Structure formats: structure tokens, C-alpha cells
Structure 1
Amino acid sequence: MKKKVFAKAIRNHIILLAAGAIAGLILLALVHLLPIEPMREHVYWSMDMIEREFDNEILIDGYRSTLTGNFTDCLMLEHAVYSSEEHSLLEQVLHMYRGESCPPETAGQAGWWPGQSLKDFLTGVPQPREVSYSRYWHGYLVLLKPLLLLTSFNTIRLLQSAVQLILAGCVVMALCRKGAYPLAKAFLLSLPFLFFVSTYASLSLSICFYVMTAAALIQLKADGLLARRGWYGLFFMAVGMATVYFDFLTYPLVTLVYPLGIYLYFHGGTPGKGIRGMVRNSAEWGVGYGGMWAAKWILADCLTGSASIRDAMETVFVRTGSAEGYSRINGFFNVLGKNLQPYLNWCYLLIGTMFAVLLLAAAAKKKTGAIIRKLPSAAAYFLLALYPFAWLFLTQNHSEQHWQYTCRILAAGVFAAASGCWTLLQNDSPNISQN
């Protein structure tokens, strides 16, 4: 009987992964059939704003983590409007070609210059080379291309500011409707640590926020169904797949930790049960995350005869290596210091102080024994708060080079730790969904 259940689970995972990869490929192919010229015109209308950010892309001076992500955004925009008669539709979708201009100091041999490359492509300036970026799925184009068909990048930024605020509000309201007030407060507290003030200005740095909030809203709506049918593992796998499909390896861990926090609140139960569920669902997310990425490389190699798998594996080994010039342990502390650096200022000191005051005021109204009895329920949250540190340890090379945005994964730790603290002070037991 157990063998049949295990075989069924394996089959379901394979079907979900295969269906996701095929659907993802089809969607990308469909949006590449949309007319390119209106998109080019709309991006060109935004070039003044884009060009002003070539050298200075920080929204708030002095705070590197409020960057607009102009470097990656220009890559995304050129991918959205690029076309070449030399490549078939399938080749363009799987390899994501674009024209590349070269900085003068590189003599046309190496170096990335995405902003100038985008400008040169739009204005018809000859570009010395064509490059591919087959490592990623580039699923963001499924939404970006239709948007650019309708409007400019400037308008998309304005739209993002509204959509992200609405999504954040919807998550808070959904948590409150389910009685998960500790998580609602923790979610609000964590938003500044996501640099929510600047996320709207960046295409690339918005992706994980969208995936995380969408996953949370679906989970809160379908929690009872997911639990009754035993679909929670497949849900976390699907979230991992969606993260890879849309994201550029920015701060993907938030798409795991926030839904895990919600899962623990409604289904944690005893510490042992909560931790087992946390480990199991983390593994499911990892299967979806790694499996969807591997599916892209396999499709590219099988359908176009490329060497995407080899290129990707070489990059994986580099990105998961220790920080340059350090041992594994010393490198971790170096990376941790860089990623903590954006929070060492008065803004986060004041936020932390206000949280501590509110926490102490609530604790003063509770009996010590009542708080101690809640410790088992909160234990899994404090373990979950360690996830960002594990991520920094495992991805030292990437997290050292890109600390300006990888630091945002620490918001997931804030969410988990704050959820644990508020759970200690909660009066009622979690409102387990029966929907």
C-alpha cells in the first residue's frame, strides 16, 4: 500500500513539473507572436527616464538597497522588444537572444552594458555582437510583453506602485479574516525590510514580491482544500516552480518562508508536527525550484542542441561557492555583514525599537506561565527565521556580489521571528480553516 502511495506521489510530481514546463514554454511562445513595433515605441518613450538611471539608479541617495534595478530591467526590456530573422521562434524563446553593445574599455570583447545596449537597439545603432541568456526561463515576458504592447515603462512603474500596495493590503486583510492576527502584524513589520518603498520602481526586484503575495493569497483562500486533499506538498512545489519561471535569482527565499509561516499557523500543531511539515514543504519547494530550472536547460538542449546544461551547472558551482578570497565559514560572516549593512541605520533602529516596545507592552499583560505554554507553538517560527542565514551560507558567491538586493531575504527572517513573538502573546488558539 505504501509503495502505491509513494508511486502515486512521484507520478503527480512528474506530471506537475512536466505540465508546468510545457505550459511555460507555450506561454512564452505565444507572447513572442505579439507585434513588436508598438512595444519598441513604448519603451522608446521611456528612454529619457531609463537613461537618467544608467549611472545613478538609487531611489533614495545613500541607501544602495533602494536601487531601481536598472541594469537588469534594461535586459528585461530588450528581451521584450528584441527580434532577429536569424532565429526561429523556438530558438528565441529558449535562448533569449539580444543585441549587446560593449563599453569602450572592453574593445568589443567583453563586459555588459545593458542600458546603452537597449538604447542602441531602439535607435538602430549597430551592435557588435548578439548574446543569449538561456540560463533563465524569462517567464516575466508573459506579462511584460502584453503590458508594453499597451503602454510605456513609465506607466508600468506607476501601475506597479498601485498593484503592490493593493496586494499587500489584500494579504493583511486575508490574514485577519482567517484570524491570523500575529501573522498580519508580522507581515506589516517585514515590509520595510523588503524595501517596499522602492520595489515598485524595479521590474526585476518586484517579481518575488508578486510571487510571494500571490502564493499567500491563494493559500489563504484554499487552505482547507489543500489540507483535506493532501495537496500542500504540490502547492509548495508549484510556488517553487513559479519562482524560477518568473524570477532572475533576486531574493527567491521569500516565496518559501512567508507561505511556510502561514502553513505553520494553521497546521503546525505540536513542535514535532510543525517542524516535520516545515521540512517536508521546504523540500517540495526545493524540488519545484530546482526541477523547473533543470527543465529549462533540458528543453533548450534537447530542442535546439545547445549546451545550456553545461553552462548552467558551471554557474551553479560558482554561485554556490564560498565568498571570493574566504574560507566557507569566514566567507559566510563576510556575506552576512554585507547583507546586514543596509539595515544598520536609524530607520530600522526606530522600527526595531517600536516593535520591542509593543512586544514588551503586550508581554506585561500576560502571565509568564501563559507565555511559556505558547513556546512549543512558536518554536517552529524561530527555526524558520534561520532560513535566510542558511541561504546566505549556501549562496555565498551570489549573495556577496549582489548584497544590494539579496539582503531582502532577511525580511523573511523578520516575518518568521515576529510571527513567533506574536504567537507567544496570542490569547486564542489558531483559527484552523475548514473551508
Structure 2
Amino acid sequence: MKSVQKKIVGLLKVLAMIVAGVLLGAILITLVYCIPVNQTNAQKSIDSLEGEGWYPSATQLKSSLDTYFHSYLPGVLDGATDGLMLAKATRQIEGNPLWEAMNMEGYTYYWHGYVVILRVLLLFMDYEQFRFLNCILQLMMMFFVAHFIWEKKGQRYALALLTSYFLMMPMAMFLSLQFSWIFYIAMALSLLICYRHTWFTEKRIPYIFVIAGMLTSFLDLLTYPLYTWAFPLFLLILLSEDGQKALNYVKTVFVSGLCWILGYAGMWFGKWALAGWIVHRNVIQEAWKEVLFRSGSEESLNLIARLEALYDNWKHYEYPLYTALLAIWLTWFIYKSLNGKTQIVRQEKNGAYLLITLSSFVWYFVLANHTLGHHFFTYRIWGVAITGILFLLCGSITTCKDNCSGRDRIYTFCKWGILCILAVMLTLTAREDVSVLNGNVEYQEIELPKGEQIEEEFLPSFPRVKNFAMGIRTESVKGQCIIEIRDDEKTLYELNWKLAELADTEYVQVPVDWNFKRDSNYRIVIHLEENEGPVYLRFTKDNVNPMLELGVAKIGGDIISGQLTSGIVYSYRPLSKYTLLFLTISWLGLLTALSFEVEQIVMWVFHRLKRNTGKT
């Protein structure tokens, strides 16, 4: 009974903290909006940002939507969101500051708490000076955390921390407002854990992580928020007293995680409720639509699309220097496991490290829409998994009292062989998008008469097609355009486009799931049904920039000089040998981490069965 009462009291305290945090957040933003803007620093900041463009690279400060935003380079900056932050922080408030603080011009469901810091800083410095300050502060904070861990736990853990930090592309975080807030929350809490570790008792831990979640919601615009829970928690478990039962560490993970979620979600909901009351709109409904959209629920994202979110974000680590760092760590661990002087022993903290690691997978899977569209910064959430696996590997290496037996080394060697085979097999299941198109050229429009059909030879380069696009224009508001994929006279797949839905477009792209045999010829057949107005299909002129997949096109037996303007997206295994090597290294690292717990479970089951057999 007393334990139930304690839990109820604890929950009420958490709710009180969230309510207090919501009110304090609203007050702080309102007060800071009463401070006048330093117009000189504001204009310098905006000019500096506009000179770089929306999505420059940290290593080359010029903007390119195609080269950087759509790339897997690790150093892409989010100049567009930095511009948004500067605009919010430098607004001239003419009306009610409380109303302005809650409304935030269309981004009502975010707190935008960063304006409390930025508006004050911009009184004394501009955007470029902030970047310099950012660089110094971030390096100092990381140095003090790594130095403390080096002193207390040894160099391998400190190097693991520094590796995970380097893989987040520090240069980009120095230069970006958008990427900095999460780092500061995580590092501030990490420093407290390092230098005031004894203060983090079992009773205090839940409330501390509630505050961490609230601060994350207040300052961040959904970049890599999981980091503010996971990174400090890794250090908390690392510095915890050794020798405890594994269940105690796992309990810390669950309790801190639940409390972080309560603080994070509670602070969000508090903003929606308070803002709705102040601005007289149903902000809760607006925000919930955004939640459903970002989670992919509105699009009904299937399992494959959600797994693509994991893969697209992980591809940022294919960057050569990143791959080299990961390969060095894996090589070191394999060497330590086989050299005869050290051995691999499962530690009680491994289960906790692995649970935190798996939280990255859950985040990408649940928020698939957001992480697919913003992978150029959400890839940093994988930093949680990388840190967890590195900590697990570092803790599992112990010195042999005597040289390890030959039998143990043979067992370890065989284990590595099995893991390598599994890693290669899993690598071969990977699929990437291979896009081909012929539409970036001049085109001609061919009218498709009613009762006629256009046929074109189709030779797919890869077995599976996941997207199909075609140039089409119509003035008809009735009828359908039927697109068939035929094998001889047999219709394999059919698309039925309602012409009324194509009135405002000239290029239609739709998801499909077409599977073909290798090196086989097919036909694309297009015809109309029940149309009233003309329908025009777009063809390239004189086969300029031809698509290898498409052959001769005919209408009513007459050959058309050009190809149907099309775009095809295949799903196929990676074509680059380097990518295959990178994925094999990745799978091997993950399987190694998982093998400790799998082996423990197998041994537990084996001993239970053996004991039960002995009793009978």
C-alpha cells in the first residue's frame, strides 16, 4: 500500500513539475519579447545567413538544394531553420507579447524556447560571433566530459565517447543554431553526472530526466531529441557501482526513459493547451495532425518504408572517415577477442546498454515520415546506438588471469566466422533506390485520341519497380487514363488515373509494386476511357537523353519519334562494393553486440533444460 502511495505522490510531483514548466516557459518567452531588438546585430545575422543559402555544407559554405540537402553528406547545415530561429528571435513585437509568444506565426505547436537565449545573446553579438562562441563552448564541454571518463574509467571509454562525438560532425554543430540546443542539454546533464555523480540517487533520477525531457521540448525543433536522454544515461550507468544485478541497470533505463517521455510529451501538450486558450484556436487538433503526419500514420507507411527510414539515416555514416573509424573499433575488438591475453566476458551492464541502443531503432521506426524527410540531421540519433555498442564492447573486454585456453580461442574464432556469414547475408538483403528518368529535356505533346492506344517497349533494368512517373496533361474532367504493363497479351499490372485529378498537374508520380523477370521484354499500353476533353502525353524530342528501359513507341501503328517522358525508381541491392563493405561492417558490429545477450539467453535455457532433465 505504501509503495502505491509513493508512486501516486511521485506522479503528482511530476505533473506539478510539468505544469510549472509550462507556465515558466510561457513567462520567459513573454518577458524576452519585451526586450528591444539590437537591429544592427539582427541585420548582420540575417545577411550572413542569406549569403550562405538554405542548405550549405559545413565544409563548403555555399548552398545547393540538390548537392547537399538531398545528399548523404554528414555536414549539411539547416540554414532554413536557422533563418526561422533568427526571425522568431528578432521579431518586433507590437501587440500583446504573451499572445505573440504563444502564437509564433504558424508554428504554434512548437515552444520556440530558444528565443529566450537568442534574443538576449543578439543584444551583444551577431550570428557569426555566436558561432565562434558555440565552437568554444561545445569543445570545452566535450573535453571535460571525456577527461573525467578517461580519469575514472580509462581511455577506451573516453575514446568511445569522442568517437561518437566525431561521428555527429562537430563542425556542423559549431555553425548551426538548429543542431546546438540538444547538444547543450545533453552535455550539461552529462557534466552534472560526471562531477556530482553521488547526487543522482534512485529517488532523484526520475525528476532529473523529467526536466531533461521538458527542456528538450522547450528548446528543440525535433532534430535528434533522443540524445538528451540517452547520452547522459550512458554515463550514469557507466559510473554506477559495478556488481549490481542486471535488472537494476535495466530498471534505471526504463524509469529514466518513462520520465523523459513524460517531461517531453507533457511539455508539448502543455504548450498546445495553453496556446489554444490564449490564441483562441484548437491548437491541440492542429498539433495532433502534425504528430500523425510525422509518424507516417496519415500516409499509412508500410513496414518497408519504415525500415527505409533506418537505412537512409544510417547511410550518412558511409562517409569514408566515418566508416574507417567504425572499422578500426571493430578490428580492435576482434583482435582483443583472439589475442589470448584478453577475453570477452558479458557484463551485467550490457543489457542496459543494449536497450538504450535499441531506442534509436524505435525512434526511426515510429517517426518514419519525419526522419525520412530530414535525414540530413536526424541521422545523429544513430549516435545513441553507436555509443551504446561501443560502451558494450569496451566493457566486455577483460584481462585473462592466465593465457586463454586454445579451446576458448577456437570457440571465439568460430563465433566470429558465424557472425561474419550472417553479416554478409544480411548485407545482401539491403535495397537502395535506383532512379532513371528522361524528363529533363525538351518535350513534345502527342494527343491520345479516344479509342486509340499508345504502346511502348519496356525492358526493366532491375526486377522490382517501386515508383512510376509519366508526363501527361489533360483538359478533361471526366474519364480515366488506363496504363497497363503487359507480357505479350497478358496484363500484369494496371494503373487507373482519374482525369479529373490530373487537371492541375503535368507530371504524375505514383508508388507501385511491380516485379519483373530479368532480361524480359514487356509493353506499356496506354488508352483512355470515357474522356470528354483532349488528353496529351509528353514525349522526348528525337530520343534526346533516352532511357534504356524504353524502346519504340507507337500510336495506331505509327512510330513516334521519341520516348514517353518517364521516371522509374527501382528497389535493388546496393551497386557499390564500398557500400556493401560498409553495410557488412555495420551488421557485424550490431550482431556482435546482440550476440552477448543471445548467448546469455541460450545458455540460460540450456541450463534450465539440463536441470529439469536431471530432476526427471
**Which of 242, 249, 258 is the aligned partner of 2:215?**
242
Aligned-pair CA distance for 1:15: 1.8
**Which of 80, 84, 89 is the aligned partner of 1:75?**
84
Aligned-pair CA distance for 1:197: 2.3
Contact kept, 8 Å, 1:323 with 1:400, in 2: the verdict is no
Q: CA RMSD in A?
A: 2.2
In structure 2, do the counterparts of structure 1 residues 178 and 303 end up closer, same or farther at CA, with 3 Å as the change threshold?
A: farther
Contact kept, 8 Å, 2:74 with 2:319, in 1: the verdict is no
**Which of 150, 163, 170 is the aligned partner of 1:196?**
170
For 2:373 and 2:294, the matched residues in 1 are separated by 10
**Which of 238, 251, 255 is the aligned partner of 1:276?**
251
Alpha-carbon deviations, 1:399-427, whole Å to 9, x = none?
Answer: 01101100011011111110111111256
Query: What is the aligned-residue identity percentage?
Result: 26
Aligned-pair CA distance for 1:173: 2.1
The reply to whether residue 95 of structure 1 matches residue 103 of structure 2 is yes
**Which of 336, 344, 347 is the aligned partner of 2:318?**
344
For 1:316 and 1:48, the matched residues in 2 are separated by 34
Corresponding residue for 2:328? 354
**Which of 230, 246, 271 is the aligned partner of 1:296?**
271
Higher strand share: 2
Corresponding residue for 1:65? 74
The reply to whether residue 13 of structure 1 matches residue 14 of structure 2 is yes
Taking structure 2 as the reference length, what is the TM-score of the superposition? Answer: 0.60
- 1:46-195 equivalence runs, <5 A: 46-60=45-59, 64-85=73-94, 87-97=95-105, 132-179=106-153, 182-195=156-169
For 2:228 and 2:298, the matched residues in 1 are separated by 25
The reply to whether residue 260 of structure 1 matches residue 261 of structure 2 is no
Alpha-carbon deviations, 1:283-307, whole Å to 9, x = none?
Answer: 1111111001111111112233222
Aligned-pair CA distance for 1:204: 0.6
For 1:233 and 1:183, the matched residues in 2 are separated by 25
Aligned-pair CA distance for 1:3: 3.1
Q: Which moved more, 1:282-291 or 1:376-385?
A: 376-385
- 1:21-40 equivalence runs, <5 A: 21-36=22-37, 38=38, 40=39
The reply to whether residue 227 of structure 1 matches residue 236 of structure 2 is no
**Which of 264, 287, 300 is the aligned partner of 2:262?**
287
In structure 2, do the counterparts of structure 1 residues 199 and 177 end up closer, same or farther at CA, with 3 Å as the change threshold?
A: same
Alpha-carbon deviations, 1:36-86, whole Å to 9, x = none?
Answer: 2x1x3212123442122225512235664312211000000010111242x
In structure 2, do the counterparts of structure 1 residues 303 and 138 end up closer, same or farther at CA, with 3 Å as the change threshold?
A: same
Corresponding residue for 2:283? 308
SS of 1:150 mapped into structure 2:
coil
Match of 2:8, as an amino acid? A
Contact kept, 8 Å, 2:360 with 2:385, in 1: the verdict is yes
Contact kept, 8 Å, 1:319 with 1:396, in 2: the verdict is yes
In structure 2, do the counterparts of structure 1 residues 247 and 365 end up closer, same or farther at CA, with 3 Å as the change threshold?
A: same
Corresponding residue for 1:117? none
- 1:322-341 equivalence runs, <5 A: 326-327=301-302, 329-341=303-315
Aligned-pair CA distance for 1:220: 2.3
Match of 2:260, as an amino acid? W
Highest RCO, 1 vs 2 (Cα 8 Å, sep ≥ 6): 1
Alpha-carbon deviations, 1:102-158, whole Å to 9, x = none?
Answer: xxxxxxxxxxxxxxxxxxxxxxxxxxxxxx321111111111111101111111111
The count of residues paired between Structure 1 and Structure 2 equals 387
- For structure 2, the residue ranges without an aligned partner over 5 or more in a row are 61-67, 400-616
Q: Which moved more, 1:12-21 or 1:52-61?
A: 52-61
The reply to whether residue 383 of structure 1 matches residue 355 of structure 2 is yes
In structure 2, do the counterparts of structure 1 residues 426 and 44 end up closer, same or farther at CA, with 3 Å as the change threshold?
A: farther
Over alpha carbons, which structure has the higher Rg?
A: 2
For 1:92 and 1:213, the matched residues in 2 are separated by 31
**Which of 344, 358, 367 is the aligned partner of 1:371?**
344
For 2:233 and 2:102, the matched residues in 1 are separated by 32
Contact kept, 8 Å, 1:46 with 1:154, in 2: the verdict is yes
Contact kept, 8 Å, 2:55 with 2:80, in 1: the verdict is no
Q: Which moved more, 1:235-244 or 1:174-183?
A: 174-183
For 1:156 and 1:96, the matched residues in 2 are separated by 23
For 1:242 and 1:182, the matched residues in 2 are separated by 31
Corresponding residue for 1:108? none
For 2:298 and 2:325, the matched residues in 1 are separated by 31
Aligned-pair CA distance for 1:311: 0.6
Aligned-pair CA distance for 1:280: 1.6
Match of 1:265, as an amino acid? L
The reply to whether residue 415 of structure 1 matches residue 424 of structure 2 is no
For 2:142 and 2:165, the matched residues in 1 are separated by 9
For 2:76 and 2:283, the matched residues in 1 are separated by 30
For 1:239 and 1:181, the matched residues in 2 are separated by 28
For 2:191 and 2:354, the matched residues in 1 are separated by 23
Match of 1:33, as an amino acid? C
For 2:300 and 2:261, the matched residues in 1 are separated by 29
For 1:181 and 1:232, the matched residues in 2 are separated by 27
Aligned-pair CA distance for 1:245: 0.6
Aligned-pair CA distance for 1:362: 4.2
Match of 1:160, as an amino acid? N
Match of 1:54, as an amino acid? G
Higher helix share: 1
The reply to whether residue 394 of structure 1 matches residue 366 of structure 2 is yes
Match of 1:305, as an amino acid? H
- For structure 1, the residue ranges without an aligned partner over 5 or more in a row are 98-131, 428-435
Corresponding residue for 2:521? none
Match of 1:251, as an amino acid? Y
